Amino acid sequence: YLDDILIFSKTINEHRKYVKVVLDVLYVYKLLVNKEKSEFYIRKTVFLGYKISLGQI
What's the pTM? 0.78
Tell me what pLDDT residue 50 has. Answer: 92
Tell me what pLDDT residue 54 has. Answer: 82
The residues spanned by each domain of the chain are 12-53
**DSSP letter string, the chain:** ---------SSHHHHHHHHHHHHHHHHHTT----GGG---S-SEEEETTEEEETTB-
Please write the tens of the pLDDT for every residue from 27-38. Answer: 999 999 998 989
Tell me what pLDDT residue 55 has. Answer: 82
Tell me what pLDDT residue 2 has. Answer: 77
Residues with pLDDT less than 70, the chain: 1
